[in-house]
Amino acid sequence: MSLYGGQGPMTNGVVWTQCSLASIVVALRMYTRRVILHNTGLDDYLMVIASILFIIYSALVTVATASGLGQPLSHILDQPSYAKAIQYVIIAQTVFLAAIAVASSAVAVFLLRLVLSRWQRTLLWSCIISHCIFSATSILAVFLQCSPVDGIWDRRITNAKCWKGAHALNYLGSAWSPVIDFVLASLPWVVVWSLQMPRRDKLTVATALSLIAVGGVSGIIRTVQLYYVYRSPDWPYVRGAYTLLAIWSSTELFSSMFFASIPILRPLYMAVVHGTYEDAVGSSSQRSRGYPLQDYGNRSATNKSISGGPTTMHTAARFQADNTSEESILGASDDISVEEGIKQDRGGLGGIKVTEEFSRTVTYSETRL
């Protein structure tokens, strides 16, 4: 009798659909950054790694369903296949823990390229470090909970010594993931609102990034399902327990990858609509390459002049954030034109930049030394 059936096909369908959509969007993200913007960053490569881990996770779920995942325990009479299914189930969840940590880190690194204030950078780094620590701890807890390790997935080993505290660590790691998702979904409203860009574009970018919160909701449901998985006498094949755990794990990972990449595809969308990349971003002498931040708009400088008297100069100044990076998310705006004489970067082509370019009059005096 085939062990593939029950809720197995449904689980495979959902997981692979989400994996495929996320992988396609990440591929388009890399194309946009590399070909159109010529400005790939660490966040892009982290998202590629998360996509690879997502594919591995989906493959492991498929192998588990072929061994009986999704079937009631009463339908699984082959003990070796039963043990094999549990083994792939557990390995799949550890891959998920690594993937969600990498995906969340990619989102945080992306936001680090935009934020300016110290508290925002501290918050983002705290999200990255804490999530990686909790995920690594949960992975170790999974594989170290029983001695010998085969006792985790093979119930025929009756003399295995298992540590029940591993469940608590897994609960903690699972619950911390949605907390990070909600933080990363909320911060864009603060960051994007400080940019000089049309209100409509602010709403578009902030709303798209805030949809990462869908992953947070999925993470909460996943944590609840994890509880039922551990408490079920039919673990992990009871209908509605592990199958839902696998699906909601996939949904959380999909949400983090998909919604974090969508805003970055706007230059690609503009290029498709206009036919060519040049038409999408416009001429550098007629169109802005990005939206500057407001933070530096009122800066002035006072020094001493060599002649000893006051000197008035008309200057074009450029300030760059302390993270020394430029971030491109949106296409160029028709409402903002560049200041004549200011040289534009290719790296900020067609999008948000954490830089400012402006023209202002600076009056200063300096005593002859």
DSSP string, 12-42: HHHHHHHHHHHHHHHHHHHHIIIIIS----H
Q: How far is 313 from 134, CA to CA, in rounded Å?
A: 55
Q: Under 8 Å CB-to-CB from 283, ≥6 apart: which residues? A: none
Q: How large is the average pLDDT for residues 195-220?
A: 85
Residue-level pLDDT at 101: 96
Q: How far is 228 from 245, CA to CA, in rounded Å?
A: 9
Rounded to a whole number, what is the distance in angstroms from the first to the last CA of the chain? Answer: 95
Q: How large is the average pLDDT for residues 98-103?
A: 96
Nearest to 358, CA basis, from 305, 320, 312: 320
Whether 7 shows a pLDDT value over 50: the answer reads yes
The β-bridge partners of 161 are 147
Amino acid at 299: R
- DSSP H or E stretch at residue 3: none
What is the dotted CATH code of the domain comprising 8-263?
1.20.1070
What are the residue ranges of helices labelled H in the chain? 8-31, 42-66, 79-112, 118-144, 165-192, 199-210, 213-231, 242-261, 266-274, 277-281
Question: Which region, left, alpha or beta, applies to residue 365 given φ > 0 means left and ψ of -120 to 50 means alpha?
Answer: beta
> How does the average pLDDT of the chain come out, rounded?
75
Return the SS3 of 364: strand
Reading the block at residue 119, the tokens are 């508290």
Task: Locate the domains of the chain by residue range.
Answer: 8-263
Nearest to 218, CA basis, from 187, 178, 259: 178
Residue-level pLDDT at 278: 58
The whole model's pTM is what? 0.75
Nearest to 95, CA basis, from 134, 145, 60, 47: 60
Q: Under 8 Å CB-to-CB from 73, ≥6 apart: which residues? A: 234, 237, 238
The string of pLDDT tens digits covering residues 219-241 is 999 888 888 777 764 554 445 57
**Per-residue DSSP letter, 155:** T
User: Between 84 and 112, whose confidence is greater?
Assistant: 112
The string of pLDDT tens digits covering residues 25-84 is 999 999 999 998 888 999 999 999 999 999 999 999 999 888 888 777 666 655 666 778
User: Between 165 and 215, whose confidence is greater?
Assistant: 215
The string of pLDDT tens digits covering residues 253-300 is 999 999 999 988 988 888 888 766 555 555 433 444 444 433 333 333
Reading the block at residue 26, the tokens are 């990440």
Residue-level pLDDT at 144: 85
Residue length, the chain? 369
Residue-level pLDDT at 76: 62
Residue-level pLDDT at 166: 82
Q: How far is CA 14 from CA 8, 172, 217, 243, 270, in A?
A: 10, 26, 17, 10, 31
Share of the chain above pLDDT 90, in %: 33
Burial 41-56 (b: 16+ CB within 10 A, else e): bebbebbbbbbebbbb
Residue-level pLDDT at 71: 76
